Structure 1
Amino acid sequence: MKKLLLPLLMALASLAQAQTATGNFNVAITLTTACTLNTPANGALAYTSFAASESSATPASINVRCTNTLPYTATLDGGATTTSNVYTFTDGTLNLTYRLTLAAAGLTGTGTNVGNGGDQAYTITPSVNTAQSGTCATDTCSSTAAHTLTITY
């Protein structure tokens, strides 16, 4: 019995002598903010010379996603701005003036918006002004102009 009791007592004595030490450490995280956007569908317009009403295309939807609480602005390239969200262009091939309207519910086009970490939907609506003749030597002519939506943050 003594042979069994002695190792048990020694094990208990070593447990009683056990001590602990603790230390604190920091975790440093660096967040690089970002904004992303999807590529919208192209806007296709049909216009007849001297039309009495403007020709509009179905708005192209584009989603902007920015880091939560990050301020950003959305603007379209070039063109004269007639209001803060309407850009006017002249197609050099067809000699037609057209507009691109940048809109979003609860957001501004050229003003400062704030990212919420999720998709924020914009629409870009192309339209051709009324009563223009245009330039075309055949039954129909077409032209394509590339535009850029810029998100600055």
Structure 2
Amino acid sequence: MSHKVKIRSIENLTHDVLRIVAEKPAVLNYQPGQAVDVSINKPGWESELRPFTFTSLPEEDHIEFSIKTYPDHNGVTAQLLTLKPGDELIIGDVFGDINYKGEGMFIAGGAGVTPFIAIFKSLEKEKKIGNNQLLFANKT
């Protein structure tokens, strides 16, 4: 089932990463680390689905994505750069098996860090960071 969600805020986190905060549908349930297919509710872009991981926590009143953009490509992420608050995204069903299974060393590269943003936010909120570690690499 798909849902249209209004963008509340959109900002650059870096020169090529966007943070998008949108309304959260009341019926949306997900776990930290899960993802959803997202498209843009504009003519010609509604069927251009791309998977993005939630960087918000399930109990928050909004959904959030941190998305690496490719402005030189004429694709979805370049189109995301044109959006503003009030514009709409279309989100599909939640999916994904990246979830917390216990303490460890987690390794991520580039945009692959996004599942761990929500997982570590959740651990921090529950005061359960413990000995968990995240090793992350990214090009600059």
Settle same-fold status: TM greater than 0.5.
no
Structure with max Cα Rg? 1
* Structure whose residues are more often helix by fraction: 2
